[in-house]
Structure 1
Amino acid sequence: MDLLNRLINHPRVRAAFTEIAAWEKDRIYCRHGWEHAWAVARLAYMLYLEERDEREPEAREGFYAAGLLHDLGRAAEYATGEDHAQVSARLAGEILVELGMPAEFIYKVCQAIAGHRRGEVEGWARYLYLADKLSRPCLQCVVEDCYKREKMLVLQQLYDYR
C-alpha cells in the first residue's frame, strides 16, 4: 500500500505524532501514538469487512489512511481546545491532496475522521468511531479512575461486532 508508506513517512504526519507524544509524555491515560493509530486502522477495516458483502475498492487503503490520520489534530486540541477530529480531518485533507489522491477518496477519509468522535451511524465514520473505542485496552487498564473506563468496558463487553 504505497499511500500508507507515503503517509507514515510524510514530514507533517511524523511531526504531528512527535508533537502529540510531547503533549502526552506525562499522560496516565491511553495515548494517541503510532500504536493506537495502527490499531484503529486495522480494527476499522475489520469491522467494515464483517458488515459488508460488497466492498468498495478503495476501502482498505481508505480505512488505513483514516486510522493513521484520525488523531493528527490532538496537539492542536491540547494547545487551543479546538476539536481534534475537525483539525485532523482538515490536516488529512491537505496531506491527501498533496499526495494526489482522488477527491472522492479524500472526502470519504475526511468525513470518517471528522465524525470519529460522534459515532455517526453512516459511512466510514461509524467504523472509525467503533474502532477508536474498541481499540482501547480498558479491560487491562491499571488507571482505576480513568474517565473512559466504564463507558469503554460496557462497549467492549456488549458490542457484538455487527
Structure 2
Amino acid sequence: MERVDKILQHPKYVEYMQRIATDEKDRIFCRHDLQHAIDVARIAYILVLENKLIMKKDMIYATALLHDIGRWKEYEEGTEHTEASAELAADILVDCGFDAEEREFMLKAIRDHRKSGTQSTFLSSIIYKSDKMSRLCIDCNVRDQCKRFANGGKINLYY
C-alpha cells in the first residue's frame, strides 16, 4: 500500500481534493471528499474479495481514490468528470510507481465508472457498484430533493 500512501501525499492529489472541497462547500448532496473516496476503496476491495477476483489491493484503492479527482473541472469548466479524472490521474499514477499496464487498466476503470451495465472491465463495474453503495441514502436529510430519487428511485444498499 506504499503506492497508495504516495497518492494521498501527492501535491496534485491534495490540490485537486482541496479544489473539490472548495467547489462543494455549500453542496447539500453527497460530497466527493476523501471520506467518499476511502469508502469506495474499502467497498471495492470487499467486492473483489467476495467475488474471488485477483487484483492488487493497491490498484483497487488507487483507482477508487482517483475516480472523482476531476470533479472540480466539471464544476469550473464543464468537462465530464470521468474524463477529467482519468486525465489528471495519469501523471499521479506515474509519479507513484504504477507501470504502464496497471495505469491503462486503472484509467479505463476511472473513465468508465459511471456506465451502469456497460463497464469495459471488472474494475469499472466494481468501482461503479462501490460508488453507489458508499452513499448512505437511507439516512440522508435531502433525499427527497436528490435527482437519484426524483423518478421513484429506490434505496439499494446491495446493488
Shorter-chain TM-score above 0.5:
yes
Q: RMSD over aligned Cα, in angstroms? A: 1.5
Is the aligned partner of 1:115 residue 2:112? yes
- Tell me how far apart the structure 2 counterparts of residues 79 and 32 of structure 1 sit (CA, whole Å): 15
How do 1:17-96 and structure 2 match up within 5 A? 17-52=17-52, 54-56=53-55, 58=56, 60-96=57-93
Q: Which runs of 5+ in 1 are unaligned?
A: none
Q: Give the aligned residue type for 1:139.
A: I
Per mean C-alpha deviation after superposition, the further-off stretch among 17-26 and 108-117 is 108-117
Aligned to 1:98: 95
Shift of 1:86: 0.8
- Tell me how far apart the structure 2 counterparts of residues 103 and 148 of structure 1 sit (CA, whole Å): 36
C-alpha change, 1:152 and 1:44, in structure 2 (3 Å) is farther
- Describe the superposition over 1:60-117 as per-residue Cα deviations: whole angstroms up to 9, x where unpaired: 1111001111110000000111110111111111111122321111111111111111
- Tell me how far apart the structure 2 counterparts of residues 66 and 85 of structure 1 sit (CA, whole Å): 12
3-state SS in 2 of match to 1:117: coil
Aligned to 1:8: 8
> Any runs of at least 4 consecutive aligned residues in structure 1 with deviations exceeding 4 A, and if so which?
none
Identity %: 38
- Tell me how far apart the structure 2 counterparts of residues 77 and 45 of structure 1 sit (CA, whole Å): 27
CA contact (8 A) 2:113 2:124 kept: yes
- Tell me how far apart the structure 2 counterparts of residues 62 and 108 of structure 1 sit (CA, whole Å): 9
Per mean C-alpha deviation after superposition, the further-off stretch among 24-33 and 110-119 is 110-119
Shift of 1:4: 1.2
- Normalised to the residue count of structure 2, the TM-score between the two structures is 0.90
- Describe the superposition over 1:135-162 as per-residue Cα deviations: whole angstroms up to 9, x where unpaired: 0110100002111245361x32x63xxx
CA contact (8 A) 1:117 1:129 kept: yes
